[in-house]
Amino acid sequence: MENHIIAGFQNTVDFEIVWDQDVLQELIQAYGIQYNEIRVFMPITNERELLCTLLCHMRQQGGSECLASSSKITRRFANRFRFDVTLGGTAVRAAMAIEKLGYGSTIR
């Protein structure tokens, strides 16, 4: 019998943003964000908190899942940059990693 890896997937849509340093700098200045304010907000209730949270993860050179209280917040932020909308999330990235290990995966 062959080995199989099976995982359940949730529905997730990612915005794969092409970061623009000038846009980030303009937002930091417009929101008056100070270095000591850069931290993780949970949940994220506005665009300023989203930006602070993203800057915190950039500073830590890591990632995570961020929970915004409204998709309007993330869409408004994403629209400031070039981006692609993709199927994503932890489960999809795990499926891609599993395929690199030689196992097939199906995303439904």
Q: Tell me how crowded residue 94 is: count the other CB atoms within 10 A of its CB.
A: 14
pLDDT of residue 90: 76
Question: 71-78 and 47-60 are packed helices; what angle lies between their axes, rounded to 10 degrees?
Answer: 70
34-64 per-position pLDDT tens digit = 999 999 988 899 999 999 999 998 898 877 7
If one compares 16 and 39, the residue with the highest pLDDT of the two is 39
